[in-house]
Structure 1
């Protein structure tokens, strides 16, 4: 018995190193898995199919989608996710389908997407700027930009990410170059859109200024409150130099500035609207040319939109076209009221009536370009419009519940699981 017990003790002693070795190997394997899963990584899944041709759709509602698309080059729909930007096609597809291409990053989060021609630029929470070729999904360049700071969590449609990217704009310079502008709480950078080369960087004070868009004359518009009184700052997009700081006559100390008449999103804008708290003292200004903003009385009203050389006004029981500088009425439509401006793009103003008709008018003449009800299947018209965007003749709009409130969660806020409508005009 004693010999047997001794043999068991010896065997156990021999097993201990083996057990320890197995345990160590298991820990090492676990660490390797964790490192592989959690280490920073970029995954670029490029397109396998040819670049699609641009369709010529008839006017009407095309698709019902769960997330907001950004129509790029009239051929693709680009979407955002928490850590992904991806595209599907065709642009006229009724539903979202398998991605045409996809780009993912970890652990950074996607905070903004902007498209210009066939270049799709994504901005990330670590400040990285990544440009993709829309035709293939391949990365064309990467650059280190200013960190965006705290960005509000988007709702499940990611409409703010693709239609109103925080601190991300483009501007066309006097010599025809396109500059990408990225702004954060502590800095602003200008980058050549073609190759990502940084053209300039400016350090700014935190928490007392914000950038709101770019002008058609190639300047970045900011609101500077660092000395306690808000002023409009106009900065050369090509060099980063501040050309002027300007305040509207008799402007209140607290000033809000809204870009209007923009070519794309808040970029390439021809006008601004300034106002005090609650919209008090609203005034319109033209900024299409160098120099101080020029008064535009036709833009003073909050129910006005600028498109080219015309203001479309939906107040007063009718829809009118006016001169931006004088406010003179140039055309009138009495068959569209009540209506509101849903979105604008060069050469098109998209109006939404109370019957949920989307009426697209020519801002120069007021003539109807297309008119149809924003409905697909049997969804009905019992909804409120949320965010909307227009580009290349396509209009996209979120549909909200009629009793939706900003504090509601997404289920109580949006009309259904697929609340976004895409229409061709």
Structure 2
């Protein structure tokens, strides 16, 4: 009897230990965590690529410091190098968080900032992948599920922008439902926090004059708000003269993403009453008739318009035509960056123009291998002379899943112009 009792005690103890071990494993797996895998190889030298298609990729790249490519995943931000690599390769560095999901990434110089679903802002040093700083930002609220390329996450991060202050400092701006905030990009220090209307404010971006732009829809007609990026003080509340009650505000002429924008376009919900404005100085926006057309884009003081029978360059302030190109039409604007306007023709030629003169900087067909040109452009992005574009099936519609939407497993083309 005593022996049987001892056996029962041993079995009970083993069961308790097994349960405790299982609990420990589950806790370890499910507990909040981060994994920082830093670079083990030297940082790449700055390349000097020739114009043409570099290669194809399965996910959208964010070109950082002209040297490496940064990508997004559901719970990961990671990089590879060199930027001119034909395919995606083993990560140069990687950063993961759990259980939060990644909702946005942007880069300024060698600083890569990631934004997460729990509101955390984590900055990484692009040269090493090491965490530079962490900060608590406003929670981003619900965001649309990104397609498998994560192009929206890295090329158009919702509620995440950078503005350059008058003293040259870069300020990170984060917006969420009911709150906005500013942070020193160098160390993550919070500069200011402001409560705003929850569910009735639309985030737009930042201006070249160092302001955060939003649209207040809380009460009465919609109004554009311009907030000092360094202090959070609301500088200007403005409505275009004779504007409709509901406004759609689109940033144009931006340094990157929706950051450092030199202009805005306002219109009604159906695109009516489209009007262009410059926001290069503090205060109310300045009318820019040359930017009124919905198909026009801005670089500096120059507007490039593809809506007519020819491609034209105009003065933003007066609308005066400065140059025209009939030989690259029909074409659409694929992407814009300072000093370059990238056009895509019906023959899938990528034609890069100097917006100041209309001169061609480079021209080549966006094709690689035997892929062909039977595709339509999806999201696109340009920085430092590099252009990336998603290739979408010609018959695809937005309701399609990723298999029916993208042309192939590696749908993103990367090119140097």
TM-score for both structures, normalised by structure 2:
0.99
Structure 2 counterpart of 1:78: 70
Structure 2 counterpart of 1:406: 398
2:171 is aligned with 1:195: no
Q: Provide the rounded CA distance (Å) in 2 between the counterparts of 1:166 and 1:365.
A: 34
Q: Provide the rounded CA distance (Å) in 2 between the counterparts of 1:204 and 1:281.
A: 28
Q: Provide the rounded CA distance (Å) in 1 between the counterparts of 2:231 and 2:323.
A: 41
Q: How does 1:108-257 map to 2 (within 5 A)?
A: 108-257=100-249
Question: How much does 1:307 deviate?
Answer: 0.6
1:389 to 381, 396, 405: 381
Question: How much does 1:10 deviate?
Answer: 4.9
Q: Provide the rounded CA distance (Å) in 1 between the counterparts of 2:292 and 2:84.
A: 38
Q: Provide the rounded CA distance (Å) in 2 between the counterparts of 1:198 and 1:63.
A: 40
Question: How much does 1:210 deviate?
Answer: 1.5
From the CA coordinates, give the structure whose radius of gyration is larger: 1
Question: How much does 1:312 deviate?
Answer: 0.2
Q: How does 1:329-348 map to 2 (within 5 A)?
A: 329-348=321-340
Structure 2 counterpart of 1:89: 81
Structure 1 counterpart of 2:23: 31
2:275 is aligned with 1:287: no
The answer to whether the 8 A contact 2:54-2:414 is kept is yes
Structure 2 counterpart of 1:307: 299
**Deviation sequence 1:283-337 (CA, Å, 0-9, x none):** 1011111121111111111110001110001011100100011111000100011
Question: How much does 1:211 deviate?
Answer: 1.4
The answer to whether the 8 A contact 2:301-2:317 is kept is no
Structure 2 counterpart of 1:328: 320
TM-score for both structures, normalised by structure 1:
0.97
Question: How much does 1:11 deviate?
Answer: 3.9
Q: Provide the rounded CA distance (Å) in 2 between the counterparts of 1:377 and 1:70.
A: 23
Q: Provide the rounded CA distance (Å) in 2 between the counterparts of 1:402 and 1:252.
A: 36
**RMSD of the alignment, in Å?**
0.8
Where in structure 1 do 4 or more consecutive aligned residues deviate above 4 Å? none
Structure 1 counterpart of 2:14: 22
**Deviation sequence 1:112-163 (CA, Å, 0-9, x none):** 0000000000000010000000000000100000000101110000000000
Unaligned segments of structure 2, at least 5 residues: none
Q: Provide the rounded CA distance (Å) in 2 between the counterparts of 1:182 and 1:14.
A: 63
Q: Provide the rounded CA distance (Å) in 2 between the counterparts of 1:18 and 1:46.
A: 46
Q: Provide the rounded CA distance (Å) in 1 between the counterparts of 2:79 and 2:85.
A: 12
Unaligned segments of structure 1, at least 5 residues: 1-8
The SS at the match of 1:140 is: strand
Question: How much does 1:14 deviate?
Answer: 2.8
Question: How much does 1:15 deviate?
Answer: 1.4
Q: How does 1:96-111 map to 2 (within 5 A)?
A: 96-111=88-103
Structure 2 counterpart of 1:258: 250
Question: How much does 1:244 deviate?
Answer: 1.2
Number of residue pairs matched by the alignment: 417
The answer to whether the 8 A contact 2:335-2:380 is kept is yes
Q: Provide the rounded CA distance (Å) in 2 between the counterparts of 1:201 and 1:268.
A: 20
2:32 is aligned with 1:40: yes
Question: How much does 1:403 deviate?
Answer: 0.9
Q: Provide the rounded CA distance (Å) in 2 between the counterparts of 1:352 and 1:263.
A: 20
